Chain A
């Protein structure tokens, strides 16, 4: 990833981190489901690709993704000029960063608790 793209990933990440609750649900399983699902949906929306909305959960992930992408467009004008490849790189960088902060490197002791 170029340093320009990497700093853009940071911009997206910082916005998401500050704004959305879905990355911080209670356990690894629901954080993963949200981060993976919403970023994937968001990528599709940005690329104008059809998204999968069969189950209620998928429908909700798509809703979250749409709100996120709308916010991105409102805040980051450079996004509309990104190529499809750049969008994929940005969003995958976003997913990695969110996963790292909210799951992999999280100091939250409860994330892998089987109960609550």
Chain B
């Protein structure tokens, strides 16, 4: 079966190039959705902007860094209180956002003075913080404010501070993906190899592309601690600005999210010869494989096997309990991109769940190569899916649960389909062994929620054998 033109897309037939239904004996040589292409205006796409890809996804995770957004207030307001990435220092990163609150006069006369003043104020108000990232936004990019020059000036006047600049207005690229790229490349060009930290282990790595969603990073860190591996830097979950300046010191780059952070891993390889190892951190089978590979690289295979044995003993029975009850359930995944390929096979292998439809907001064709290679036949693979397409796909595949964002979750709730927050999780972390049991538990709790069955009952139609699926004791 080739690419699919949905009924709702008859007036925008180019959407056919973005939706694929996998059939037997086909490969991505024949069919691959076009991805990372411009969105059709007015389609109610799910995409965000390049600025948020830089600020909200990567830079804003850092636990010790002021995020100065040079632009009108909305860009700051909107990228605040929208993520669940805690830190071990009281969630400084989630509590604050900074804006130059650009006004019309700055559009006319330039906003550099305003920026300089705002930077100095921010450091004055929070004297314990010495690191900052400055971002441009659409209007400050359009008027050509030189944020680099301003930052340099402040750094020369305040030698104790360090500032990184990200020039990535919202209109750059076609989605948040562009912002990931700009931040990655900017960081390696300007900040990596500007500091050295103390190395305490002969086994060192950077853990790249994990943003500590509900504590993912902190959970995995317990593994690295047990294995005696020093994580030089976390890019960027629970991470610090200065650790990321020392990325060149690591012996191995372990990449979870290749979409948002593969760039910096590749550059570290080209420039410093540090090899890149992509792993999947969700799911037992993948996590085991990741631990094995990392340990094999350092020649500490036995430690790895011991960790795996301990974790399996602790968590596998719980996972299996859920697997017994989730087997054959149908899941849709509508998230950013990489979680499609991270999850499709892991929920199938570990939980017996069939993933029947997947949509990516900002994935590239590479992401579709991965997910189509791993995903099922009869499953829909959608690039930049929009609302009417979602309705049609739901009708076609009838999922029992959808992993997606909270807004779409509210939409599908009306159709009696439970959602799990595929971005910020319901009750995570979801990475690692314990995490995947959390994912299984949340999925079970969602699918076996009696309310959605009650919602289907029309009380006007006499007595109904509601046949509710009540839960069992765990």
Contact = CB atoms under 8 A, between A and B. Distances in A.
Contact of B251 (A17, A56, A107): A56
Contact of B293 (A27, A64, A106, A107): A64
B269 A59 contact: no
A72 B36 CA distance: 35
Nearest to B278: A21
Given A21-B280, A106-B369, A26 B258 contact: yes
Contact of A108 (B181, B252, B365): B365
Interface string A18-59: 100110111100100000000000000000000000011101
A67 B296 contact: yes
A26 B366 contact: yes
B277 interface: yes
A66 B266 CA distance: 23
A102 B280 CA distance: 19
A85 to B, nearest CB: 28
A101 B258 contact: no
Given A105-B29, A108-B369, A116-B185, A57 B273 contact: yes
Contact of A60 (B185, B262, B277, B374): B277
B273 A63 contact: no
Contact of B292 (A26, A56, A67): A67
Given A60-B297, A106-B29, A107-B29, A24 B369 contact: yes
A80 interface: no
Contacts of B185: 116
A86 interface: no
Interface residues of A, number: 28
Most chain B Cβ neighbours within 10 Å, of A55, A100, A116: A116
Contacts of A56: 251-252, 273-275
B365 A101 contact: no
B31 to A, nearest CB: 8
Interface string B249-282: 0011000001000110010010001111111100
B150 interface: no
Contacts of A21: 258, 278-280, 370
B386 to A, nearest CB: 22
B369 A102 contact: yes
Contact of A57 (B29, B262, B269): B269
Nearest to A104: B29
B373 A108 contact: no
B29 A101 contact: yes
B32 interface: yes
A59 B374 contact: no
B365 A109 contact: yes
Nearest to B365: A108
Contacts of B31: 107
Contact of A18 (B32, B274, B297, B345): B345
20 contacts: A17-B373, A24-B369, A25-B262, A26-B262, A26-B366, A56-B252, A56-B275, A57-B275, A60-B276, A63-B297, A64-B293, A67-B289, A67-B293, A105-B29, A106-B32, A108-B28, A108-B364, A108-B369, A110-B36, A116-B263
